[in-house]
Amino acid sequence: MKRLKLTSLIWREENGYVSKCPELGVASAGDSVEEALANLKEAVELYLDNAYELGILNDLQVTLEAEKFASSFEVETRW
């Protein structure tokens, strides 16, 4: 079994929280930040299991093993 370190983005929308793993393009949601993250983890695990079963997991190796950096920043706009 291999452990992967992936990124999660979570933001609030009108009816709850949306979570996304940008490396894989997998998204989920929940009523709280914790639920959205737990649901995202489950969705990613299912996605990776399916990729393994289809024999395409090797196609994702570069993305999964890349060194990752995360930050947030602000910009000013005129609107």
**b/e code 13-37 from CB counts within 10 Å (16+ = b):** eeeebbbbbebbebbbbbeeeeebb
Within a domain: 1: no
Cβ-count burial of 57 within 10 angstroms (0-12 exposed, 13-18 middle, 19+ buried)?
middle
Confidence of residue 77 (pLDDT cuts 50, 70, 90): very high
pLDDT band, very low/low/confident/very high, at 9 (cuts 50, 70, 90): very high
**pTM across the whole model:** 0.85
Which strands, in side-by-side order, build the sheet including 26-30? 9-13, 16-21, 26-30
Does any domain span residue 50?
yes
**Which of 70, 65, 71 lies closest to 5 in space, CA to CA?**
65
Q: How many domains does the chain have?
A: 1
Q: Which domain holds residue 57?
A: 9-65
Considering all CA atoms of the chain, what is the largest pairwise distance in Å, rounded to the nearest integer? 50
Determine the average pLDDT of the residues in 23-51: 97
Residue 27 lies in a domain: yes
In a domain, 28, yes or no: yes
> Within a domain: residue 73?
no
Residue 70 lies in a domain: no
Tell me, yes or no, whether 78 lies in a domain.
no
